[in-house]
Structure formats: structure tokens, C-alpha cells
Structure 1
Amino acid sequence: MSVFSDPVAALGFLQGQNGPGAPRLVILHQDAFAGSEGADKLEAWLQALQDLSVAHLPVLLHGGLEGPLLVRLFRVGLCDALSLPVEQHHWLNLLIRVEKRMQLRQQKRMLLEDNSHAQDLLRELKDSLGEVYDRNAGDLLQAQETLESVNRRLTHDMEELSLLYRFGRELSQACNWDEVLGRILAELGEFLGANGATLVLKSAVGGAFRARRTWGWEDGSWDRILLDLEQDTKVAIGEKLLEWGVLGDAATVTSVDGPTGGKVIALPLDHQGLRLGFLLVLFPSPDLALLARGRFLPFLQAVQVVLAEEVAGAQMLDRIRDIGLFNARVLETVSSGIWVFDESGTTVYCNRAGQEMLAGSAVPAGDPSAFLYRIGRGRLADAVGPGDDFPELVSDGRLRVDGQEGLLMPFLRDGAGGVFQGGGEMTSLDGEIVPVAVRSSLMAGQSRNQTWMVIVAEDQRERRQLEHERMRVDQLRGLVEMSATLAHEIRNPLMGLSAQAELLADQLAEGDPRGRYIDVITREVDRINSTIDRMLNYTRPYHPELAAGDILTPVRDALDLCRSRAEARGAELDLDLKPLAGADVARGWTVVLDSGQFKQVLLNLLLNAVDAVPPCKGRIVLELSASSAVDLPAPEGKGRFLAPGIIIKVRDNGPGFGDGVQERIFRPFFTTKSSGTGLGLSLCHKIVTAHGGNITALREGDTTVFRVVLPRAAAAPSRMEVAE
């Protein structure tokens, strides 16, 4: 170890020691380079040290130099630096780092020496290989030709694999095989050197073979070849495919005579023991057919497997699609609403009847195949209902069942075996509460651990309406029987009373005051007969004799007949006409109706109004208005529809009717008059309903209004939407 206080002297010593040997550890002290230019001197000294042939390891002891200066020094060769004072462990760590650095430099030197030696060996080997190459040039050229031949074979095999892959991919992805098959047959024929190809398949299970697609083949010429194949028993021997599509022997490729002296290679397409069809490839000569058979036999067998599998898969998909469409049509035509829910209560499927029940109106018919994708809100909502606001049956609380406690889905799942059957109510989008019969059960979901739920809701409105209608028919049947009995039992003594009154009248002298009693008897008998006639008319079936005519005619006739009675009551009787804007005046009031019966309706309404108004202060207005769209009941009693029609309102300023009267006012034998029979308004309701219209009674302010709505035409659509 040498110690120097002068850096120049130390550098001179190291230069004197310059030569082969291990590097030295050089420890520098910051004070040796004191002064304003000390940093530059130290940097120059380190640079000079690096120029020596032996790479020494300089270490600087400093009193806290700044980082940028240390970076400069490290860049010019400083190995390490320690900040004063230096602890013992700092020295130990330094020595360890220096030792590793020396080892690395020693290894680098050895590697350089080994590299030089290796380069010498490589030069010797290169010279030796050059001599060997020169000696074996012929062998190398022959090997090159062999490799080129193998490369050509591999290229040909890759072309075959590429064709097979493309055939399978295009067939599996194509929705319509016509275009794809034409392209495949053309590529296959050109690749094999053929001048025609035909894919022959069975039209149906057990059906005859027919050409599915033909390329470069004279129309009809393949029929004879196909007939020969079907009749040749040799073709049916040894042509079965083994499991997993591995071909048996080479007999699966059969050659038969083709048209115009050509030769046809026939590849039978079999799948699971069933003959699906043939691939027929036409070659211009027997030699070319034999050449192709020997050269392309594995390729043809692979094509045979691909086509057989794709044809079988396509036929299976067709059968699955047919089954799916059949199921879709069945579900879409079922009158009950059917929902399928996942475990969260979200709709997975809803048929058309269910959509109509929730929407409260008819839903346009869609493509039956779309049922596979018709799922609830949040999952293609436009495929479910009329818009994004289409409600969810469960999560929106649209369904409640009898006995329900808490949430619907847990309540239904807790039933015995997950099955529920009972009544309930469904709230449609327009707020209508629909009575339904509910049946639910569990089903397997889409994944293994999922359990979905099926809910079937049957609309009970029609059933309840039919039940109500049945009860009404039973009541009418009893009423008819009672009316016929009463008419028979009452009219017989009435006939006797009337005859006796006529005999008494003949025996009295003219002007006898007792004659007025006989007149009273006669009038009362006539009134009873009239009541019996009205009762019988109500109970008889009524079919209006419809004919197109001006509705103003029965309207004015009814007003004329009631005017004298209104004047006697001191009541005003007016007509208010409101024709449709822009309508033809001559045809603006034309309606198809039974004019005589409708006049009876107007007479009943007007006479009731005359009797209801206060004496000398009454006012009665018959308002007649035309509309392009009136709300009418459908003929089948299912829903309502809009159609052009006439609205008749009879207004009066009478006292009206009390609570509970409005619901019963059109029932037979219900009356608020002391002398009424209760058949007038019920008969009006029967006549208006037979015309396809409706009649209602209501209070508007201080007036009582009887409102009659009639369609202009006799026939109306069976079911239409009611516009909002």
C-alpha cells in the first residue's frame, strides 16, 4: 500500500506500475483536490486514470459533495464514494462492492480471452467446412431438390387443408347454402381438374335424391348417374363411415361412367348409418378420374367427411328450427298469458297474450322466430312490448294473487313443490284491474344451477262476463215464462171484463152518467193490455230491420209526437244539430238503423224528460252530433273500438235520479214513477244494443242527460285499438 499527498505524484506512481496485473484499489481524499478548481482537477485526474491499460478502482472520501457533482465524477470513472466520517461497516460494505467489481472485471477479461480463442476456432472450422462444402456440393444440390419437392408437397397439402377448412367454415356460417355451395363446388372442381360437380341430397327423410347445387354440369345428365348409383349394389357395400368420421376403406370413393365418355367419382355422404346424398365429380376422361382418385384420395375422403357432417348438422338445425317455430306459434296463439322469470324476477319470456294483458290493448303480431330473443326490460326491451315503459309483471307489482303475503316470487316458490294455483288480479298499463286465474311452477334455468319460474295467467273477464250473461239469460228465461203465464192468466179475465163492459154500455141510454164508469173500465183494460204487450215485446228476441236512411226523419217525428204533451206541461222542446265539420250536408246524417224502433227509443226518452221537468219551467233539448270516431262496444263483447257514428243526447232540467239509481236504471221493471212499468228504458237499452251502440244516463251539472251512441254502419270491426 502506497500513500501520496500529491495527486500528480500518485498518478505518476500508477503510471509506473502500468502493465499486466490485477487492478488496484485507489482511495482519494477530497482535501487532495482542494481549491476553487478542485472539482475540475479531480475530474481530469479520474479521466487520466481511465487512460491507463489497467482499470484501477478509484474510491472518493468526501465531506458531503452535492449529487450533481458526484454524478459527473461517476461518469468519468469514479468507482465508489464514501461520506466522511466513515464507519467500520461502511468500509466493509465498500470492500465487498470492490471485491465484486474486481471479480466481474476479472471474468470479463477471461471472457475476452475465451472469445478470442473461440474466434480462432471458428475460423479454423469455417475453413474446414468450406472444404467439406466443396467436396459435397453435389450432395447438397440433391438435398435441395429433395427439400423443394417436399416443400411442393407440403404446399399442396396446405392447399388441401385450406380448402377443407374454408369449406367447413363457410358451410357452418352460411344462412343460405345456395351461393356457398356454388362457390365450393367450383373451387373443388378447379382444384381437382374436373369439369363438373353436383351435390345430391334427399329432399326429405325417405324422399328421393335431388340435385341441391350443380357446377359445370349439363342439366339432367346427373339423373341417370344417380339412378345407376342407387341400383348398383356394389356401391352400398363397404361405404359406411366409421365412428368419429374416420373412413373405412378406399371403396368409399366409387367411379361410374359419366356423360360423353367422361368418368364420375361418386362420394356417398353417410351419417350414423343414413345415406344423406352423394357428391358427384365429373372428369373429362377415365384417365384423369383415375389420376385424381390416386392423387387426391385422402383429400376426397376428408371432403366426404366434412360434407356429410355439415349436411347432417344443417338438417338437424332445420328440424330444431321447425320445432322451435312450431312451439313459438303454439305459445303465440295460446289465449292465456305465459311468463318465464329468472331467479331475480326479471322476465325471460312473455307471449303475445301476456303482453296484451299487461298493455291493456292489442299488440301487433311479430315474427314467430323472434320468441327466442323476446326477453324483459333491460334485455332487448323493444322485443317485448310496445316501448321502453313496458312494465315488468313481478318487479313492478303488476300481479297479486289470493293469499299473498309479502313479495310475490318467494310466496309462489314456497308452495308445495313450487306449484301454485289460484286467483289473482293483474294491473294493466292503462290502470285496468284484470281478474286472472294464476298457475305457477318451477323449471330448470339456462345454466345447471338456475331455477326459473313459469307463470300462466288466464284472463277471467270473458268468463265472468259469460257467467253474468248466463245468469241474465236464466233471469230472462224465467221472465219469459212468467210473462207468458201472466199474459195468459190476465188476458182471459180482461177479455171477459171488456166484453161485459161493452154489453153494459149497449144497455145504458145515451147520456147516462153511469157510462163514464164503463169508459174507465175500458181504458184500464186497454192500459193493462198495453203493459202486457210491452212486457212481451221486451222478453222476445229482437233483430232490427236495418236500412240506410236519414236519422233526422225519426228524430223530427218523435219531436212532433211529443210537442203537444210538452206544451201541455209548459216545457220547451228544442233540437240542436251539430254536423261533422266539412261533411256532405246531404249525407251527413245518414245512418244504418231500424227507423221505427229507433223512433220508439226517442219517444221513450223524450216523454220521460217531459214527465221529469218542473211544470211551466221545463226545458228539454235533443242534441244530435256527428263524429268521425265514437267509442263503441265490439260485437263479440271483447273490448271496444273506434268508428264513425252519431251521438244523441236528451237533456232536461229535471231533478235527476238519486244515489244508486244510475246503475239500475236500465234494468227491467225498475222505475221511479208511481205509475210506471219499468220497461221503457230497458226496452230502449235492448234496441240500442241491438244496433251495435250503447246508452248511458248521467248528470251534467243541473241537467240530466241520456246519451245514445250509434255507429253509422251496420257492421263493425271485431277488435280494434281504442285511440287515446
Structure 2
Amino acid sequence: MKLTGPLRILLIAAAIVGISLFHYLTPLHLPALHDIFQRLYYLPIILAALWFGLRGGLTTSIIVSIVYVPHILFQWGDRPSLELEKFLEIVLYNVVGGITGFLCQKEGERREELERAASRLEESYRALRSQADLIIGIEEQLRKAERLSALGELSAMLAHEIRNPLGSIRGTAEIILDDYPQGHPKHEFLEILLKETDRLNRVVEDFLRLSRPVDGEKKTCDLDAELHQLVKLLESDAAARGVRVVLDLEEMPVINGDPEKLRQAFLNLLLNGIQATGEGGTVSVQGVLLARQSDDASFVELSFADSGEGIPPGSLEKIFTPFFTTKEGGTGLGLAITQRIVEGHGGAVTVESEPGHGTTFRVKLPV
């Protein structure tokens, strides 16, 4: 237990009083005991010097001298040699109190200086760590930009090399399909061919969406109206899967953005939620206006929560990585496109998921 200042003073005073009582009450024919008590005075003097520095050491040694002098004069006065020895001991009390107090005070000042230096080093470390995190974030953004740049070049090549032949393949398959009625073995294969060409065309479209610049024509965007239209658009798809879509929005402010691109981002999140939720499950969309915490712009937060199986922890960190998908037949580009659109509007998208308890995507956009 750490002693407080008053308790320390009380302990020193009690030691001085106790030792003095031993001196005054012990008979003079026991000089050995008096020698012991005489040395015991060093304990409160040294303690005071350790706890209170130079001032404490000298003050205590002076008090001890004042208390001890009457004992020398009145009880040892008839023995001059012993009296001189004890006065010399008083001088030593003050020397020890002064030197010990001075050294302890210097040590305390040095310790405080070291603590201040340690505090400054800790602040510098925090600042350096913050800067390092910022640099890592910038490097990650640069790597992402490089990947998107390469993806843009690849998308342009795909658009030229794949889409035109793909259209020819689809047109040819549709013509041939007319020659084989429903139920013919080749009719089924041609339908598979048409279905796969549609899927390949969607992959190419996703490539193009991911590689296109996000900066487009910005205008006022009514989030409330956009989300209501999307929920209405997906009602039949959700009902076919036995999923209920719930919309719970506060009074949403009008924001400045590209309605078409934001609609695409919200559509990706809603479709993911519906597809991840089993029959009888729920997908809820909530929107709140976040309180302004500084001079920065206010933000609106939209949460898209489903009651599905959730995302495994190992996959959660990769969920926004292009081409990473846990869905059969998925391209792994939908969430990457969503993140790019949201960040292009000055916002952020995060995900929270627990296996067996569903997934929640949170989209924060500046007002």
C-alpha cells in the first residue's frame, strides 16, 4: 500500500517521539541501550529525506536535534566527554539529513525528467504508428488503383474480344433453337448454351462496371425513393425464395451523388442478402442520420442485414476482394463494385458477420 503524505509525516513523528521516550525513560547506567537509541534517530531522518527530499531531511534532523539536546544537557551534563560525543552525533544527524535529502531530491528530479522523456517518446511512438498506418493505407489504395488500372485495360480487351463473338454465338443458338421443339434432346443443350452466354455476358458487364471511373455526373439523390423502388423491384424475387424484405428508414436527407451508381451498389447488397437468406428469413434495410461530431459533413448510415448463415471468419477479410466469392456461379465482383461506388462518393462500406447469425453491411455516405 502506498503511503500518502500525511501518513508519512505521522509515521516520522511517531518514530521521533518513540525513540525520544526510550532515551528519556531508560536509566543512564545502561549506556549500550542509549547508543542504540541514538543510532535509531537516523531512521526517521533517512525516511524523511527519501520521501520529502532536502527540505524533509533537514527539517527532520533539526527536529531530532531539538528533541535530543535537552536529554544531553540535563541527563549527561555531568559527563563532558560523553556530552561532546553526543553533540557531534547531532552534527552527523544534520549532515546525513542534508546529504541524503539532496541526493534523493536530485534522484527524484531525474526520475521525473525520465518519466517526461518516456511520455514524449510514447507520444512520438503513437504519432509514428499513426503515420505508419496512414502510409500502409495509402500503399493499399495505390495497389488497389494499380489492380483497377490493369483491370480496366483487361476489360477493354474483353469488351472487344468477347462481347462481339458472344453476340454472334447467342444469335446463332437462338436461330438453331427454333429448329428443335421443346422436349427434343438438342433443345435442352441449346438452352444451356443460351444461359451460359448470358452468364458470360454478365461477367463482362461486371468487369466494365468495376473498371469504369466512379466520378460521374453528380446530382441530388433521394435515398428514400431509391431504396423504396429497389425493394419493390425485388419483391417478387424475394417472395419466390420465401424471404421477407423490411424497410425501416428515418427521414432520409437528399445527398449529392450519382443515383444510377448508388442504385447499383444498393441492388448488389440487397441481392446478396436475399440470396444468402433461407426460406422464412428476413432482409432488413435501416437508415439513420448520424449526429455531427465535428465540423466535418454529416453522414447517413444505411444497414443491410440478413438472417442467413453468415460469413466464415476466414472469408470476411477477403469479401471485398475482386473475384473472391463464396456463391456458386458468382463472379466475385459485386461487392468490389459496391465498395468502389461508395468510396467514390466519399463514403465507406463495412461488414459484420457471425456464422449462424446473419450478416450486416453498413454503408456510410456524406450528406
Whether these two folds match at TM > 0.5 is yes
1:396 corresponds in structure 2 to 119
**Alignment match of 1:426 (pick from 101, 105, 125):** 125
What secondary structure, in the 3-state scheme, does the structure 2 residue paired with 1:629 have? coil
Q: Which has the larger radius of gyration?
A: 1
Q: For 1:630 and 1:490, locate their aligned partners in 2 and report how far apart those are by CA, in whole Å.
A: 50
Q: For 1:466 and 1:705, locate their aligned partners in 2 and report how far apart those are by CA, in whole Å.
A: 26
2:337 corresponds in structure 1 to 683
1:668 corresponds in structure 2 to 322
CA change 1:465–1:345 in 2 (3 A) is farther
Q: For 1:482 and 1:548, locate their aligned partners in 2 and report how far apart those are by CA, in whole Å.
A: 33
1:504 deviates by: 1.5
1:310-338 Cα shifts (integer Å, max 9, x gaps): xxxxxxxxxxxxxxxxxxxxxxxxxxxxx
2:163 corresponds in structure 1 to 491
What secondary structure, in the 3-state scheme, does the structure 1 residue paired with 2:289 have? strand
2:233 corresponds in structure 1 to 561
1:525 deviates by: 0.9
1:570 corresponds in structure 2 to 242
What secondary structure, in the 3-state scheme, does the structure 1 residue paired with 2:118 have? coil
CA change 1:630–1:678 in 2 (3 A) is farther
- Identity across the alignment (%): 32
1:536 deviates by: 1.6
Supply the AA of the counterpart residue of 2:347.
G
Q: Please, what TM-score do these two structures have when normalized by structure 2?
A: 0.62
**Alignment match of 2:365 (pick from 707, 710, 717):** 710
Are 2:346 and 2:365, in contact at CA under 8 Å, matched by a contact in 1? yes
After superposition, residues 69-468 of structure 1 pair within 5 angstroms as: 392=116, 394-396=117-119, 398-399=121-122, 426-427=125-126, 434=129, 459-468=131-140
1:628 deviates by: 3.0
1:604 corresponds in structure 2 to 268
Are 1:630 and 1:643, in contact at CA under 8 Å, matched by a contact in 2? no
CA change 1:630–1:623 in 2 (3 A) is farther
1:466 deviates by: 3.5
1:565 deviates by: 1.1
Are 1:544 and 1:691, in contact at CA under 8 Å, matched by a contact in 2? no
Q: For 1:682 and 1:568, locate their aligned partners in 2 and report how far apart those are by CA, in whole Å.
A: 27
Q: For 1:535 and 1:463, locate their aligned partners in 2 and report how far apart those are by CA, in whole Å.
A: 29
**Alignment match of 1:548 (pick from 207, 216, 220):** 220
1:707 deviates by: 0.5
More strand by share: 1
CA change 1:493–1:657 in 2 (3 A) is same
Supply the AA of the counterpart residue of 2:267.
L
Q: Does 1:622 align with 2:285?
A: yes
With a CA cutoff of 8 Å and minimum separation of 6, indicate the structure with the bigger relative contact order.
Answer: 2
Q: Please, what TM-score do these two structures have when normalized by structure 1?
A: 0.33
Q: For 1:499 and 1:618, locate their aligned partners in 2 and report how far apart those are by CA, in whole Å.
A: 40
Superposed structure 1 runs of 4+ greater than 6 Å apart: 343-347
Q: For 1:625 and 1:709, locate their aligned partners in 2 and report how far apart those are by CA, in whole Å.
A: 10
1:655 corresponds in structure 2 to 309
Q: For 1:671 and 1:566, locate their aligned partners in 2 and report how far apart those are by CA, in whole Å.
A: 21
After superposition, residues 34-53 of structure 1 pair within 5 angstroms as: none
**Alignment match of 2:257 (pick from 578, 588, 593):** 593
1:636-665 Cα shifts (integer Å, max 9, x gaps): xxxxx7432211111111111111322211
Q: For 2:215 and 2:245, locate their aligned partners in 1 and report how far apart those are by CA, in whole Å.
A: 31
1:487 deviates by: 3.9
Unaligned runs of 5+ in 1: 1-342, 348-376, 378-390, 401-424, 436-458, 580-587, 632-640, 713-724
Q: For 2:284 and 2:165, locate their aligned partners in 1 and report how far apart those are by CA, in whole Å.
A: 43
CA change 1:399–1:501 in 2 (3 A) is same
CA change 1:512–1:675 in 2 (3 A) is closer
1:345 deviates by: 9.9
What secondary structure, in the 3-state scheme, does the structure 2 residue paired with 1:665 have? coil
Count of residues paired in the alignment: 257
CA change 1:460–1:702 in 2 (3 A) is closer
1:206 corresponds in structure 2 to none
CA change 1:486–1:344 in 2 (3 A) is farther
Supply the AA of the counterpart residue of 2:326.
T
More helix by share: 2
Supply the AA of the counterpart residue of 2:314.
G
Aligned-pair RMSD on alpha carbons?
3.1
CA change 1:562–1:345 in 2 (3 A) is farther
